[in-house]
Amino acid sequence: MVVRYWRKSVLISVIVFSFLFSLYYLPSSDDSFFRSGRLFQSDRSRFLAQVRQQRFELEERQFDEEPRKVEDESDAISVERCQFIINMTKFAWENYRKYAWGFNELKPLSRSEHSASVFGNGKLGATIVDALDTLYIMGLKEEYEEGRNWVKNFFDLKTADISVFETNIRFIGGLLAAYALTEDKMYIQKATNVANILLPAFETPTGIPHALVNPVSGRSHNWAWANGGFSILSEFGSLQLELDYLSQLTQNSIYSTKVARIREIVLSVRTEDGLYPNYLHPKSGKWGPKHVSVGALGDSFYEYLLKSWLRSSKNDTVYKEMYDAALAAIKKYLLRYSSQNHLAYFIELKGKREVHKMDHLACFIVGLLALEALNENDIKRRNDALKLAEEIANTCHESYIRTATGIGPESFRFTKEVEVMAIKDSEKYYILRPEVIEGWFYLWRVTRKNKYREWCWMAAKNIEKYCRTTGGYSGIKNVYSSEVVHDDVQQSFVFAETFKYLYLTFSNDSIMPLNKWVFNTEAHAFPIVT
């Protein structure tokens, strides 16, 4: 009895001592950010204060030459995979710098510059601005400094007509994210200059902005193909994260006033069924033909409803109410399950006609639903959102594994004969898009199910195998053929989104935690208001 009691006392003492030792000596999960496969170390109290305040002082960073110590095999694998993604990013950046520096994008096969129509015809450095926060998060100090210096000395938007939407999410978004990470006020000045260039586009009878604006003349207009002068839901509905944040930083309400007016108009013309058509006329304030989609033309409108609520620290409940109503309508009218394997997907509506097609873009909704589940207080709603997120994630995964390259097509269809496959040649391409990876990233963070990490790793390896060329990364024209034909474009968003989401999937959750940061639709990170 005495011996048994003595052993028990010794055991308890050992446990208590070990516990106290760990509290005092062992670093917390917040003690370090993993960067470039190395451990960033700083004074403990200063670093914890920086994490709590969401500050990253670039000039004080130090990188050890020793690799990060790992505790188990899974941690070691994640470190290796992070480094793999960093190497991809460095390779893409080095080739852009070598062959297209300062231009918008790179043609990796031609080894020359490329510029899409959304950028006008100017040398805007879209890749540089899109890459800044990703380079910083990865700890690529030299590459980040190269980009910062170019923005400081050469960034200018004097060009032909530019897309208000793309300029907002890429340039204003990229510049504000760079500020949020570094507190370098140069970025606020640059973002303000860009926003001021976009302001004339809002001078319409309703305040719904035109799609295009000329930085020199200030004239604005809509896309010629947009149903005769209509503005596009995903474009005018995806401006508030950036412009509200800019107003907060500059203490100038002109930007937030513009997006507040958009919300007023949208609320005033709600439809009976709760669905939002993809077109709204900036003169009449009336909806266009009933084309409804959670993919192209609609997608990021819904994304910004939830994320605007989150960035307000959940104080702006109007956005949450709009989101809840919109998602309820989407589930009621657009959600379908395939007849063959009961795969969940969203249709498009064109009038009364159902189009059983889902875009790669629409896979973004996986991440949106996961984010909803993470922040939903109602247990049933939380479970329903997560269940649907995982169902759609599986469908998007099927679109990848049913191709020869293991990469998904631009869109895929569901018929009696075909399930989750592209049918038309015009749907079979892949342009380095991030949405599927984005959804898996969010589900990994929310559920901790390792399969989502593995799916991301599969995608990363296949992008490396089929999209890498001698001069960078290129989209491919047919994902169903292993004999790939490249499209010769390295999109700027491969830095902003695809590489970033892959890196964060294998990083520690203390890097860009979802309770402190919100990503815009170009994956640029903004801090949640506190």
Q: How does 147-174 read in b/e, with b if 16+ C-beta sit within 10 Å?
A: bbebbeeebebebebbbbbbbbbbbbbb
On the 0-12 / 13-18 / 19+ scale of CB atoms within 10 A, 66 is: exposed
Spatial separation of the C-alpha atoms in residues 425 and 73, rounded to whole Å: 43
Structure tokens at 49: 């204060």
Contact 343, 398 (CB under 8 A): yes
Closest-CA residue to 351 (of 423, 277, 425): 277
DSSP type of residue 361: G
Strand partners, 63: 40
Report the alpha-carbon distance of residue 36 to residue 507 in Å, rounded: 10
Beta-strand (E) ranges in 427-467?
A: none
Are 133 and 147 in contact by the 8 Å Cβ rule? The answer is no
Tokens encoding 121: 């015809």
Q: Is 415 annotated as a binding residue?
A: no
234, 270, 279, 384 from 230: Cα distances, Å: 12, 17, 6, 35
273 contacts 489 by C-beta, under 8 angstroms: no
d(CA 306, CA 320): 6
Structure tokens at 12: 């308890």
Paired strand residues for 344: 337
Active site amino acids: 166, 299, 410, 435
Closest CA to 108 of 439, 492, 379, 395: 492
Q: What is the DSSP string of 218-244?
A: --EE--TTSTTTPEEHHHHTS-HHHHH
3-state DSSP percent of the chain in helix, strand and coil, to 5? 50, 10, 35
* CB-CB contact of 138 with 36 (8 Å): yes
Q: How far is CA 134 from CA 10, 110, 139, 349, 503, in A?
A: 51, 25, 9, 36, 9
Radius of gyration over every alpha carbon of the chain, rounded to an integer in angstroms: 24
d(CA 349, CA 368): 21
Please report, in range form, the residues annotated as the binding site for Ca(2+).
521
